[in-house]
Amino acid sequence: MSSTYQPKTLPEPINAAVVNEELRALKAGLEDAAPFHQFVLRTAEPSLILPRMVVYADGTNWNPGSGEGIYRRNAANSAWVFLG
């Protein structure tokens, strides 16, 4: 089974069997992806910044302070903290 869930267009009228099948596919996709976290390489600071957010900066077009790497947003002072 693929680790990427692709939703189907549900037929009308919707019946329980079709919904259950789709929910099983979604569950399998989530379970397959659970052990892996893949960060998207960001070339600019996110437009929506949340406390404790974690991002992967490219270090060239967007350099939060220590070059390319993983950064978290410090909730106390709104700074990007380099993790590595």
pLDDT at 73 over 90: yes
Give residue 2's pLDDT band: very low, low, confident or very high (50, 70, 90): very low
Q: What is the pLDDT of residue 1?
A: 40
Task: Name the residue among 27, 40, 42, 30 with its Cα closest to residue 80.
Answer: 42
Rounded mean pLDDT, 21-42? 83
The answer to whether the CB of 80 falls within 8 A of the CB of 71 is yes
For 50-57, the CB contacts below 8 A with 24+ separation are 51/75, 51/78, 54/83, 55/80
Percent of the chain with pLDDT over 70: 92
Domain ranges within the chain, ordered by starting residue? 1-36, 37-84
pLDDT at 52 over 50: yes
Give the Cα separation of 70 and 81 in Å (integer): 8
**3-state secondary structure (DSSP) of residue 62:** coil
Q: Which residue has the higher pLDDT, 33 or 50?
A: 50
Give residue 31's pLDDT band: very low, low, confident or very high (50, 70, 90): confident
pLDDT at 79 over 90: yes
Phi/psi for 49 (5° steps) reads -110, 130
